[in-house]
Amino acid sequence: MTTEDWGLIEFSEAWRRQREIADAILVSASDDVLVTCQHPPVITRGRRTRDDAMLTSDALLHQRGITIVDVDRGGEATAHNPGQLVCYPVVNLEHFRPDLHWYLRALEDAVIVTLADLGLASGRVDGKTGVWIDGSRKICAIGIHCRKWVTTHGLALNVSNDLTIFDNIIPCGITDSAVTSLSQELRRGVDVHEVQETLLTHLQRFLLESR
């Protein structure tokens, strides 16, 4: 398993690269790859996004410099912008455990342990994918696509990003919870790179321990 840091990259380009890696894994058993990156302001709409999830018109979003991309992952609408740590594991689950429920929980576990290392307690909410603070504030969104057990997309952990971008949508279709970030919860500045290596370490551990 290898890691790649793509830095600040347009979402559509990152999605294209993910598909290239996934295709290579499918045809030639190439290495699994854990990608980390950040995106310029973008709202992505998963397969289950409802029309009423968009609180701002597409035209106005474009005027504000926010790109909109419809994607093939599960889930509904979410947002990305600089200061948010995005991780795309492009992996063949047959190398680990071919079980999507287990895989989603592994992503959550890696985030929960990472946040604990930084002094922030977090956990799950029954019936909702992602990671939460006090069961009421979402700090990490998760949405994946899987083809022949090869995954794309992944998780987005709010570190120090501007959370007002989420005012344009109903994040993940959830109306009764707030969105938060590491900087907001810890009440200090947190750099994405302060979190990145810890998250990758825990994610690799949870995946490899399943073998």
The pTM for the full model equals 0.95
**Helices then strands, each counted (H, E), the chain:** 5, 11
Catalytic residue numbers? 172
Cα 182 to Cα 202: distance, rounded to the nearest angstrom: 17
Query: Please, is 105 exposed, middle or buried when counting C-beta atoms within 10 Å of its C-beta (0-12, 13-18, 19+)?
Result: middle
pLDDT at residue 175 is higher than 90: no
pLDDT at residue 16 is higher than 80: yes
* CA–centroid distance for 104 within its chain: 11
91-95, 118-122, 123-127, 207-211: least confident range: 207-211
